[in-house]
Amino acid sequence: MKFHSSALRAEGGEVDEIHEITGVPELGGSRLSHRESLILQFCRQAALDANAITEDQVNELKAEGLTDSDIVEMLETMSFTTAYTKIVDALAIEADPWLG
């Protein structure tokens, strides 16, 4: 998470924005749309315990206009990002100096 916070700051993210985005599960802030919040909560649930995802959660995403293909793509992206982050954390890789 440290690396992601550094990257968000380097892109001009304000501290409260970073805390709002990385401070899951409190994702209902004003900066995130309802759709964005649902997507992040779903991906978080999939990363923590994919077996606990309910049909209602999937239907909520579909009600926001997401297709089966969109949901699969979200899960692929989350899986890749989770794996990458675990590697970065396990090897204690620091953000590049230009990220501040």
CB 92 within 8 A of CB 4: no
SS3 sequence of 51-73? HHCCHHHHHHHHHCCCCHHHHHH
Locate the domains of the chain by residue range.
Answer: 2-99
How do residues 59-69 score in pLDDT, each as one tens digit? 999 999 999 99
pTM: 0.66
Its CATH architecture, for the domain 2-99, is: Up-down Bundle (1.20)
Measured in degrees and rounded to the nearest 5, phi and psi for residue 54 equal -105, 160
How do residues 5-23 score in pLDDT, each as one tens digit? 666 667 676 666 666 665 5
The better pLDDT of the pair 96, 62 is held by: 62
**Cα 17 from chain centroid?**
14
